[in-house]
Amino acid sequence: MTRILVLAPFPPRLDGTHGGARSIAELVSRLAERHEVALAYLRATEEQDVDPVLRERCTIVRAVIRPPRSRLARLPALVRGVPLWVGARAVPAFATCVRELERAFRPDMVQAEFHAMGQYFDALEGRSAQRILVEHEPGAAAARDAIARAPATEQFGARLDAHAWRRYERAVLQAADAVVVLTERDLHAVTPMAGTTRVVRIPLGATVPARPLDPVGTAPGMVFVGNFRHPPNLDAAERLVTVIHPIVRSHRTDVTLTLVGDAAPDTLVTRAARAGASVVLAGRVPSVTPFLDAAAVVAVPLRHGGGMRVKVLEALAAGKAVVASALAVEGLEVVNGREFLLAGSDEEFASATLRLLGDIALRRSLALRARAWTAATCGWDRTVESYEALYRSLDRSGTAR
């Protein structure tokens, strides 16, 4: 049995409003059934607390409040090479918590979920615990992509943040004993920065519901699910509202678009309102299941970002017809035309959506094969066993380097 200290940048929850919270909760809950797990996490005052299941299963659970810090307050640290997202999670009290847990819990592994939590490797006083960094989405690559999307007034700040990410991420990768990435694309992005640190790919798992959702939906509607604080999700939602959905509506006026997710900015609210009753901005909801169940098509037109898309895995596992970009299915060995439909341009997304809306049999067959594929290849047991193999290799070698 391994003693694992997990560091998380937010409260992990099985019903979290974003994929990161859900995926960490799933992994930790399963690790805690087989190992001794201590969980330390940051929590903003407005965030829901950790999932009760984790409190029951983990040996120790500690929360540290993350005080609000404006972008302006983080600028001095940015100039010193601390990325904005990392600076927002630089909390001295959390470093103290990590040191206390290191002494009291004596972990074999310290597993930092997300690059920002790698900054707390510096809080560890000894070298007995192996340090694992889980890169849910490479920061330097995402910051580089953000430059192209930033308006002229924000270009300087975006470039400064990208420069900080390159310095920070390289340092934190090389401070780890092992780095976990989720996709081959991320493996290629991270490895050149990692120096002698070993980088391994461990894909996320998926929970297949006991009962599938309606494979064809109850109305001719499209749905997109995502937390809109994440820029790639916001870009995809705006693309749906302003371009893809209008093309679909020009052929079928009965088609609706529902956007489900937390923290929609005013720009998205305004665009959705301009589109009229055919676009519904559902916001944060207790459960996305009713929205997925009712939809005929799950549309995921992502064109930015890294990591694996929890929203796509969950839709496939639930047995829904999915239209997605190549980036949205990164890390998933699904086949276009068998488990989902692939689309790239706005016109391709509209065409694939119209094809599915007009073919109930195709929606059903895609959905059934997607669910079967997920059940056969994406169980969480596989993911947990891969982490356990990594822990054993670190125990044997004393380091993964």
Residue 243 DSSP one-character state: I
* Other beta carbons within 10 Å of 1: 7
d(CA 7, CA 3): 13
Residues 6+ apart with CB under 8 A from 78: 84, 87, 157, 160, 161, 164
Compute the distance between CA of residue 318 and CA of residue 209 in angstroms, rounded to an integer.
Answer: 6
Q: Which amino acid is at 378?
A: C
Predicted pLDDT of residue 302: 96
- Residues 45-82: tens digit of each pLDDT: 999 999 999 999 999 999 999 999 898 899 999 999 99
Report the distance separating Cα 24 and Cα 185, nearest Å.
21
Q: Which of 286, 215, 226 is nearest to 259 (CA)?
A: 226
Q: Look at the pTM and tell me if it is higher than 0.85.
A: yes
Average pLDDT over residues 99-103: 96
Packing angle between helix 310-318 and helix 19-34, nearest 10 degrees?
Answer: 70
DSSP assignment of 179-227 equals EEESSHHHHHHHGGGSTTSEEEE-----PPPSSPPPSS-SSSEEEEE--
Residue 398 has pLDDT above 70, yes or no: no
Q: Give the tens place of pLDDT for each residue, 115-165.
A: 999 999 999 987 789 999 999 999 999 999 999 889 999 999 999 999 999
Structure tokens at 182: 């989720």
Instruction: Please say if the pLDDT value at position 23 is more than 90.
Output: yes
pLDDT confidence of 401, banded at 50, 70, 90?
very low
* Residue 400 pLDDT: 45
Q: Look at residue 363 and give its three-state secondary structure.
A: helix
**How much is the pLDDT for 308?**
74
Q: What is the pLDDT of residue 17?
A: 85
Q: What b-and-e string marks burial along 335-352, b requiring 16 or more CB atoms within 10 Å of the CB?
A: eeeebbbbbeebebbbbb
For 221-377, CATH number out of 3.30.390.50, 3.60.21.70, 3.40.50.2000, 1.10.10.10 equals 3.40.50.2000
Q: What is the mean pLDDT of the chain?
A: 95
Asked whether the predicted pLDDT for residue 249 surpasses 50, the reply is yes
- Enumerate the domain spans of the chain: 3-205+379-397, 221-377
Average pLDDT in the 255-262 region? 96
Of the candidates 169, 171, 150, which has an alpha carbon nearest to the alpha carbon of residue 159?
150
Please name the residue that has the structure tokens 């103290």: 96
> pLDDT band at 397, cuts 50/70/90?
low
CA pseudo-torsion sign 191, 42, 53, 316: negative
Per cent of the chain over pLDDT 90 is 92
Which pLDDT does position 278 carry in this prediction? 96
Per-residue pLDDT for 399 more than 70? no
Query: Is pLDDT at 303 greater than 80 in this prediction?
Result: yes
Q: For 7-21, 183-197, 301-315, which range has the lowest pLDDT when averaged over its residues? A: 301-315
Does 3-205+379-397 match 221-377 in CATH topology?
yes
- Residue 212: closest CA among 287, 321, 286, 125: 321
CB-based contact 109:391 (threshold 8 Å): yes
**Sole residue written with tokens 């929890």:** 310
182-195: average pLDDT? 95
Render 251-313 in DSSP notation, one character per residue.
Answer: H-TT-EEEEE-S---HHHHHHHHHTGGGEEEEES-S-SHHHHHH-SEEEE---S--S--HHHH
User: What pLDDT is recorded for position 383?
Assistant: 97
Question: Is pLDDT of 269 > 80?
Answer: yes
Helix (H, G, I), strand (E, B) or coil at 107: coil
- The domain made up of 3-205+379-397 is a member of CATH 1.10.468.10: no
Judged against a pLDDT cut of 60, whether residue 346 lies above it is answered with: yes
